[in-house]
A and B are shown apart, each in its own frame.
Chain A
Amino acid sequence: MLLSLVLHGVIVVITLMSWQWITPLEEPPEPSISARLVSPEAVPPEETTAPPPQPEPDEPAPVEEEQREQQEEEQRRLEQEQERQRREEAEREEQERLEQQRREQQAAAEERERQAREEEAARERAEAEAEERARRQAEEERKAREEAERKAEEERQRQEQQRREEEERRRQEEERQRQEEERRRQEEAERQRQERARQQREQQLEQMAREAEEARLAEQRRREQAAAARARETEMQNERARYVSLIGQAIENQWYPPSSAREGMSVVLRLTLLPNGELQSVDVVESSGNRAFDNSAVSAARAIREYPVPDSRDTFERYFRQFTIQFEPEI
């Protein structure tokens, strides 16, 4: 009863408040709309927030006229609005007074009904409370049991979770260790690879160094040999010149040019000697055409028992193993 009364009161209040609020909002003044309609072209739609443009200097009168008419219109409308609001206020006050009377009557009736209902309600409430207590107790017991079960379950789940986590940790640990192991293995492999590469590089460097050293030694040997060869060559040339002179002298001492020998005659003999200077063979390779002249030369070559030849075998082999003698008298 009381509750319904309260509820009604609340409804009335809300209704009143709604009325108060809605009325002024039914016809809100909209001055800005009419103003915009007067000169729609002067204000670009995209510049609505911007300040209104300056009036054109050659058309000032029409704009001011328009504004003044608008203000007068606005004034008339406001006065009409105020008149209407005063009438509505008087009507509303009358209504409220009638309503107040009616509510006071209704409230006396409702108070009686309410007391009856309160008694009934108290009794029902006591029953309900007893019932409620029993139910609550049973509920509490059930809750306690469920709580215990829940906790047991939670504990189990917690343990399970713990176990899984433990398992996961172990697995992760193992994975980590495995990865670590793999990493170490790879690192080791890499280290060994690098070591091998380093050793290989070292070996290569050593090899290169060895080769460079060998090349250097070979070059040195080559230079020394070349120098020795040059020296030997010079020596051989000297020996050659010396023995050419000696052999030439020996031949001169043995050559009896025949009386038919003339200037311009020439016979060329090829001599082959043994290393001890003994004549092995002599051949006429270019005859003079004069047999006696040729013979005299051959005889001279054969007359020498032992040719002066160098002791060094290579000089002998190069120059004196076989050589030619040209007999060309200068008479």
Chain B
Amino acid sequence: MGAPLVEIHHLSKAYRRGEQIVPVLTDITLDIARSDFTALMGPSGSGKSTLLNLIAGIDKPDGGTLKVGGIDITRLSESALADWRAAHVGFIFQFYNLMPVLTALENVELPLLLTGLSRAQRRERAALTLDMVNLSDRLEHYPNELSGGQQQRVAIARAIVSDPMLIVADEPTGDLDRQSAADVLALMQRLNRELGKTIIMVTHDANAARAARAVVHLEKGELIGEPQPQG
């Protein structure tokens, strides 16, 4: 087995609330292997979303090291971190975060603007990716013309279109009905198993967590036990 994709050592993070300093993550040490599908679980305020944000490089820790793909992302400047995210991280949000003024095709094309691809190449790749998530008949639809499940599938297509090594998902089924949630989780499992994508998913839904290969529990900013492998 090679080096883990994500290596977290003694990571800590606190927020300042007025005069008070509120610790959110305390001394987190965790490795996540390549091509793993890990669920971060815990009650509200446990720090799971903060940990996901740190791994995704959209927040900075106060202490410790955090390497992704061998790069210590805590040492990167803002612009270098932005370039790193564009190249290596795909995001799936609870409320999809699609651009309402862009069609499904344009939303998926969006991350490719940061690559050197031509317009035709971008559109071809975006269409192919939407086909992968079974939305080839919705290319020209705007987000408000799609169901929640369809919007989340567009968001997943946007997350994978630039072929990132890591996909982070924050409560990806939190806003979906049961059937749509099941479809989205099945799609994420496919991405993990068939394409070998490393996925880290925050959820407080035990059903959703069952889709992952391993579950990490957090409580009050601390890891509870070791990652639990699943079926």
The judgment on whether A and B are partners is no
| Contact surface of B with A, Cβ cutoff 8 Å | none
| Contact surface of A with B, Cβ cutoff 8 Å | none
